[in-house]
Structure 1
Amino acid sequence: MDKETILVVDDEKEIRDLVGIYLANDNYKVLKAGNGVEALNLLNKEEVDLIILDVMMPTMDGIEACMKIREDKNMPIIMLSAKSEDMDKIMGLTTGADDYVTKPFNPLELLARVKSQLRRYKRLNTAIDKKEEIIEIEDLIINTNTHEVRVGDKEIKLTPREFEILYLLGKNKNIVFSIEKIYSMVWKEEFYESDNTVMVHIRKIREKIEDNPRKPRFIKTVWGVGYKIEN
């Protein structure tokens, strides 16, 4: 099993080293940075599972660094600060931090918070993965990450538009989508009355995933309303 990687960001070397010793003794891989800029550079090169981030630092402080990290990353962030006023805690948490520890701190307490945040993060991500990565309708399987579709043992080749339509219906089982709604959500353009693009795509999808396209198991027609996939 790979070690989880913790990035410790603090302008005080003594704190970086102290926290690093406790983390390493608990079998974590430790990366260190002296300010926000160094931290961002490391994050571009390394996979990091959690960040311990000091607030008061030169070059780029923890608040600014936290905001930049949150632009495209969602790993847990624990803020460290010598300031204990409520407003400082609120500022840290509203910029995207998950927890806040006030200096001076007990390294064992910090370690306990690291473990707690990692457990929470794993549970959340596992729930999201199970919910969103795979959509199953009988023997039809839609993998939303790899854009793969299978019916039983057979791999189905869909165009990107066909996949988006199938994904839309599969993700929202039992909900009827009108032709206009499907068009606007997939093509992101205004629908015109005479446009039969959606109907053509539905027909092509059925030809690929249905045993008998005239009696579809998956994509059902609700006459006068639209299409749906039943649970």
Structure 2
Amino acid sequence: MIMKNLLLVEDDPEATRLLEIYLSSESYRLVCCGTGGEAISKLNVLTFDLIILDISLPDISGFEICKHLRDDGCTIPIIMLTSRSEETDKVLALDIGADDYVTKPFGTLEFMSRINALLRRSEQTRIEANDQNQEISYKELVINTNKRKVTLRGKRLELTHKEFDLLVLLATHPGRTFNRYEILELVWGNTFEGYANTISTHINRLRNKLEADISDPKYILTSWGAGYRFSE
């Protein structure tokens, strides 16, 4: 089995030592850093399979780092690790592209299970992307699934990590209606059960980028009372 490389961005020495013990017992290769600047430097030169990212860092907020990575096209799974348990923080983490959100103190067995599940899902997504057609075209929209690139009328659209995944899910199943919980499970995994309202936020953002007239959408349609679908 190929050893997975994990980046831990955490300024609490006790939490770092605890995770080092458990992750090494699972045969993961762990790289640790205590600041956001150090994390970005390591990401520029090393390859990682998963990032464990604390929100409250001494220099850069974990939210800022996560958003920067997703805006830059980074697809590495990210687990936000924090002592903040407010629902607004969890929803924000989800909106900017985090794959999971774990609140301190946490159970190590459950945390390890979440890491393993994210890594399995990431690998499956990579395999499925390689099996899919490289391009999806509809009207003036072109989606390149391998390059994670979307163009509309010949101009590239800047989509966040999750906006792209949501668009690909709908576009690869034209005409099929997905309800919010199906979208949440298929795009984010089932970790964020209970935060399905964020789907509306992502749909609205996508429509603002795709549609000439959001009051009369041509690509992403609403199935009233049921969910959302891509045009046939």
Common fold, TM-score beyond 0.5? Answer: yes
Give the Å deviation of 1:81: 1.0
What is the identity, as a one-letter code, of the residue corresponding to 2:39? A
Q: Is the 8 A contact 1:35 1:61 kept in 2?
A: no
**Counterpart in the other structure of 2:67:** 67
What is the rounded CA distance, in whole Å, between the counterparts of 1:128 and 1:54 in structure 2?
Answer: 29
What is the rounded CA distance, in whole Å, between the counterparts of 2:32 and 2:45 in structure 1?
Answer: 13
**Counterpart in the other structure of 1:99:** 100
Alignment of 1:126-165 (within 5 A): 126-132=127-133
Q: Is the 8 A contact 1:56 1:81 kept in 2?
A: yes
Alignment of 1:1-231 (within 5 A): 1-70=1-70, 71-132=72-133
Q: Is the 8 A contact 1:55 1:79 kept in 2?
A: yes
Q: SS of 2:123's equivalent? A: helix
Give the Å deviation of 1:132: 3.6
Unaligned runs of 5+ in 2: 136-144, 147-232
Q: SS of 1:52's equivalent? A: strand
Q: Compute the RMSD of aligned alpha carbons.
A: 1.8
Give the Å deviation of 1:133: 5.9
What is the identity, as a one-letter code, of the residue corresponding to 2:115? V
What is the rounded CA distance, in whole Å, between the counterparts of 1:5 and 1:100 in structure 2?
Answer: 20
What is the rounded CA distance, in whole Å, between the counterparts of 2:6 and 2:106 in structure 1?
Answer: 18
- Number of residue pairs aligned between Structure 1 and Structure 2: 136
Q: Deviations over 1:122-160 (max 9, x none)?
A: 1111000111469xxxxxxxxx98xxxxxxxxxxxxxxx
User: Which of these two proteins has the greater Rg computed from alpha carbons?
Assistant: 1
Decide whether aligned partners of structure 1 residues 35 and 126 sit closer, same or farther in structure 2, where only a CA change above 3 A counts: same
What is the rounded CA distance, in whole Å, between the counterparts of 1:50 and 1:13 in structure 2?
Answer: 20
What is the identity, as a one-letter code, of the residue corresponding to 2:36? G
Q: SS of 2:132's equivalent? A: helix
**Counterpart in the other structure of 2:166:** none
Percent identical among aligned pairs is 40
Give the Å deviation of 1:72: 2.5
TM-score calculated relative to the size of structure 1: 0.56
Give the Å deviation of 1:109: 1.1
TM-score calculated relative to the size of structure 2: 0.56
What is the rounded CA distance, in whole Å, between the counterparts of 1:74 and 1:20 in structure 2?
Answer: 24
Q: SS of 1:60's equivalent? A: coil
What is the rounded CA distance, in whole Å, between the counterparts of 1:121 and 1:37 in structure 2?
Answer: 25
